[in-house]
Chain A
Amino acid sequence: MTTVDGGDAALKAGQAGNFDNLNDVVAGSAFDRHLRFFNFGYQPLEGEPVAGPSLGPLFPNRDSAQLLFEVVGPTDLTGARVVEVGCGRGGNLWLLRRSFEVGSVVGVDIAFKSIVFCRESMPDADASFIHGDAERVPVGSGVADAVVSVETSCTYPDIEAFFRDVARILRVGGHFLYTDLMDHALRQPFIAVLEGLGLELIHERDITPNVNASRRSRAERQKLAFGDHTEGDAAAMSEFVGQSGSRLFEYLSGEERSYTILRFRKVTDVEPGPERVLTTAEQALVRQHAADAVDLLTIPSASS
């Protein structure tokens, strides 16, 4: 893998290590082969419409599956070549193949152990998984009909580099299906970056209450899949599942951030100039969020 400047490289190594460690935590357990998603999930609230095909009540990580369906919305993915950046254990791509008639899928993640899981659990010819960095996505330009990004971009120290790469790998007419926890101060700047790269915003929705509902009802239970942990690891485990009391859960209840779905369509090819669109202050905030996330998700017993 190619690395960028020293500080960012250390942050990314930290994040890769955190998710590699999480893979170790579940390895060999009864839950291992069923655990394909690492995200906070979505629950429809009373009376709200529900996107996508219906899933059985015992579908593992049902709320995560619902999150993907909400992100995809009415986008037609028939025959599409889909690239997911920060694919984790591949749940989103696995579900796209299961529930929609996508053409082929490519997953990219910085945590090698997640990529190994993806390769073993989806050994199909039309699914490939690459160990790589979201800020330099190792796929060709204009190859993707859709790029998916679910709860991963908030840990990238240089998110604008990622947005540039999304625009580069999408073909004109292709879709960027994006969701994450975002600082209110950064949401409009992110949209501006993407618009400047030739993408048109076609849908924006704050789903914080839905993600919050999922965490309230599922976090405690999901922690069981991580087994027994030494006292010292409890805080990190609680962050991974977004349990009430964790910092990430507080973000879902606080005023500063919202969990947002953004859907874009690429309307034109734009060659990005040398100047960044994000201001220095915005870039600093992005980097700060990335550094905080690395800290919160560090599993003490695995990192010594």
Chain B
Amino acid sequence: MEIATFEWVRDRFAEVLELDPAEISKNSRFADDLDADSIDLIEVVNSAEHSLGVTMAEEELYDLETVGQLVDAIDRHRAAATDS
């Protein structure tokens, strides 16, 4: 894959949340560690859909708790896209 998903997600969240990317890891919890809300998540996912060419269903997003879980969900779509 040309763009590494974790780095991409990390950088987008850093931008949206105005944080240093180094403060964000796969284990970071959106609410407790990053103080992110659903509006931040939707912004990042929207831009992932445009830039990474994935389409995420709503239900994949609503129970996410950590950055790593989002990265895994995006990776599943990217893998499926390259398989077909």
Contact = CB atoms under 8 A, between A and B. Distances in A.
Contacts of B7: none
A58 B64 contact: yes
A30 B61 contact: no
A62 B29 CA distance: 17
B39 A59 contact: no
Interface stretch (B18-26, B30-38, B74-82): B30-38
A33 B49 CA distance: 14
A100 interface: no
B46 to A, nearest CB: 4
A33 B65 contact: no
Interface of A is mostly: loop
B58 A33 contact: yes
What interface size band does chain A fall in? 10 to 19
A123 to B, nearest CB: 14
A23 B32 CA distance: 32
Most chain B Cβ neighbours within 10 Å, of A58, A61, A62, A224: A58
A221 B37 contact: yes
Interface residues of B, number: 19
A34 interface: yes
Interface in B47-84: 58, 61-65
Most chain B Cβ neighbours within 10 Å, of A34, A55, A225: A34
Contact of A34 (B29, B36, B38): B38
B15 interface: no
Contact of B65 (A56, A62, A222): A56
B39 A224 contact: yes
A62 B62 CA distance: 10
Interface of A: 30-31, 33-34, 55-62, 221-222, 224-225
Given A56-B64, A58-B62, 20 more contacts: A30-B43, A34-B38, A34-B42, A55-B62, A56-B63, A57-B29, A57-B30, A57-B37, A58-B30, A58-B36, A58-B37, A58-B41, A59-B62, A59-B63, A60-B38, A60-B42, A62-B38, A221-B37, A221-B39, A222-B39
23 contacts: A30-B43, A31-B42, A33-B58, A34-B38, A34-B58, A56-B63, A56-B64, A56-B65, A57-B29, A57-B30, A57-B31, A57-B37, A58-B30, A58-B36, A58-B41, A58-B64, A59-B62, A60-B38, A60-B42, A60-B62, A61-B38, A221-B37, A224-B39
